Amino acid sequence: MKDNLIYNLGASILTFLLTVFITFWMTPLIITNLGTEAYGFIPLTQQVISILSVLTFALSSVIARFLAISISKGNNRKAEEYFNTYLVSTLFGAIIIIVIIVILITKINKLIDVPEYLLTDVKLAIFFGGTLVIITFINSLFLAGPFAVNKLYITKGIEAINAVTKGAAILLLLTVLSPKIWYINLAAMIAGVISLLLSIFFFKKLIPVIAINFKRFNLNILKELLSSGIWNSIGQIGVILFLSVEIILANIIFGASKAGVYGAMLQLPLLLRTVANITSSVFAPVIIKNYASKNMEALINYCNKSVKLNGLLIALPASLICGFAGSILNIWLGPEFVAHKWLLILSCAYLIITLSPLPLNHIFTAVNKLMFPGLATIMLGVINLILAISLSVYTNLGLYGIVLAGAISLIAKNVIFIPIYSSLVTNQPLRKYFVGLLYPIIGASFVIILSIIIQFYFQVNNFWDLMLAGTIITIGYILFSFFLLFNKEEKSYLLNIYKLFKKKI
């Protein structure tokens, strides 16, 4: 199990670093070629398309769990029924998604503010983005293979290849052809196809006993998957109200130009959220396995360690962005963006605590108690939408109102609801899963203070200055966390993992 944790977590960190590099390189490249206003429609169309994920999430969010449990029990026939039922369902789901994409393409200029010169490009971006949704829907089935056998480093490797392929395709399209915003979604679709082919290959290698056989389609299995995942899908509506409304509201309320500026800066907090989901997923197989074996003590201990470790991993990049916000914007996007540094700081600061508890979400999947999380997410998502409109329209906060609304709502959901509900479904005291939440705040405070001290004596004027300062702080953060934030048991555990890692290399 430790071996797999090393591979899974190591691959997640490498994928994170690669994603950071591509994001830092790609965003100014696109803005330089397309302009800020046009750039704003890249995240905007992606957020519009993400609404389609509601249609797929009911199945894609739970298939890995059912496959993993069936395989762990040696019930290959049941696993094959889950596999083929899901596969047949994706074919019908694809037809529905295609119809919605066509409607979106024909009505998009009535839904959001699109300049006439960008209308065709936006429509093409929606087409390629919608196609990617279908590819991702199918790919979720085959990515369940590495999850089922706890080899998530394979998934992370595929994600890394996806990121590199997407970045290379964007660079090629933007430099060889006349720049268009739909190149981004086209590149993502190409990378998605390659990821799907790789996922199919590894699925066959890891679980050769499962084969495509449409006769294994089982309506009762489909009902089981839907009844389990429907609350995830409802919860996904809430997630969309949390994440996707930000750039859409910015476009509708403040216009395409301001939305372009906001969309550019939003890439960093979105990156942090993506990375948190990647790292938190590493802990899912063990959480599900501990619950399946009814080892509640191990489940609780592992979950608290997961929250602590996930929080400390996210606290470092989030607090570095807060500490060097002005320098990052100046070096990354240009001097004209420095005036918005406090918007970036606020967008990232609250994520330090709100992203830490994400591993606990896998408890709900393990115990199959998804109704209340789904209802809570959609309720708080609606509150977020109302707050965002109220604070940005009826106060002088402007874009800060949208960010502040997200902070209030996400704290309520992740920091309050998730730990408490985790305690309820595992029959534990309500404070049981709050143990790991304090450590990321302490770690982030250390990084921010050190960032301020360094900038007092040292000017960060270019990328290499930023890298040097970041490296110094990262080393200090690792030492600070190891000696002051981890207990003896955790230190011993980490040292054992380090020894195993040295043997592997």
Q: pLDDT class for 10, splitting at 50, 70, 90?
A: low
Q: Cα separation of 147 and 285, whole Å? A: 7
Rounded to whole angstroms, how far apart are CA atoms 62 and 361? 12
Mean pLDDT of 259-285: 80
Least confident of 200-214, 233-247, 412-426: 233-247
Q: Is the pLDDT of residue 112 over 80?
A: no
For the four alpha carbons of 142, 240, 307 and 351, in that order, the dihedral sign comes to positive
pTM, rounded to two decimals: 0.73
Q: Of 335, 305, 325, 277, whose CA–CA distance to 156 is shortest?
A: 277
443 CB-near residues (< 8 Å, 6+ apart): 311, 312, 315, 316, 319, 477, 480, 481, 485
The 8-class DSSP code of residue 60 comes to: H
Residues 6+ apart with CB under 8 A from 412: 380, 383
Residue 197 in this model has a pLDDT that exceeds 50: yes
Does the pLDDT of residue 164 top 70, yes or no? yes
Residue 65's nearest CA partner among 270, 272, 365 is 365
In contact, 27 and 230? CB cutoff 8 Å: no
Query: What's the CA gap between 41 and 18, in Å, rounded?
Result: 24
Q: What is the pLDDT of residues 314-363, one digit of tens each?
A: 999 999 999 999 999 998 888 888 888 999 999 999 999 999 999 998 88
Rounded Cα distance, 144 and 246, in Å:
31
Indicate the range of 290-299, 305-314, 337-346 predicted with least confidence. Answer: 290-299
- Using an 8 Å Cβ cutoff, are 437 and 315 in contact? no
